[in-house]
Amino acid sequence: MSKLEFLHEAASELEEARHYYETCRQGLGTELLDEVAACLAWIHGDPLRGPQHRKTSVRVCLLRRFPYGLYYLPTDDIVWIVAVGHHRRRPGYWKRRVP
């Protein structure tokens, strides 16, 4: 099984989203993190099962309750989480992060 690693930018996006939801309602940020953890477990189980994002090698796992997706790039030994992207904000902005 591959190791999961967040790019710095993706980790920052997750923290910003957590903070936003926590200010909306106490505990909601934690619920977001729980959903992200479930998505990470799903990715870790089989990194190739997520659908490819358009014509790239990046794959995506969509969160169920929140309008976010984890965009990730599976390699031989590490699965890189390249973005924690909102569904309706700046589509494709993270593409410059992928080699």
For 28-52, write each residue's pLDDT tens digit. 999 999 999 999 999 999 999 999 9
Going from N- to C-terminal start, the domains of the chain cover 3-88
pLDDT, residue 98, reads: 84
Q: How many residues are given for the chain?
A: 99
Asked if residue 23 lies in contact with residue 95, where contact means CB atoms within 8 angstroms, the answer is no
Asked if residue 73 lies in contact with residue 80, where contact means CB atoms within 8 angstroms, the answer is yes
Q: Is the pTM here over 0.75, yes or no? A: yes
The CATH superfamily assigned to 3-88 is RelE-like (3.30.2310.20)
Handedness of CA 73, 78, 83, 84 (dihedral sign): positive
